[in-house]
A = this chain, B = another copy of it.
Amino acid sequence: MPAALMPRDEVVERLMKVIRRHGYDGASLAELSKATGLGRSSLYHHFPDGKDDMVRAVLEQLEQGLRTLIFEPLREPRPARRRLEQMIKTVDAYYDGGREACVIGNLVLGTSRTRFHARLRAIFEEWIDAVAAALLDAGVSRAESRALAEDAVVRMEGALIVAHGTGDTAVFSRTLKRIGADLVAAVGPG
Residues 1-32 of A contacting B (Cβ, < 8 Å): 21-26
Contact A110 B106 (CB under 8 A): yes
CB contacts (< 8 Å) of A174 on chain B: these are 147, 150
CB contacts (< 8 Å) of A157 on chain B: these are 157-158, 161-162
Count of chain copies: 2
CB contacts (< 8 Å) of A150 on chain B: these are 162, 171, 174-175
Interface size of A by CB at 8 A reads 44
Contact A175 B151 (CB under 8 A): yes
CB contacts (< 8 Å) of A147 on chain B: these are 174, 178
CB contacts (< 8 Å) of A25 on chain B: these are 22-23, 25-26, 110
9 contacts between A and B (CB under 8 A): A26-B111, A101-B109, A102-B161, A120-B165, A125-B166, A150-B171, A154-B158, A157-B162, A158-B159
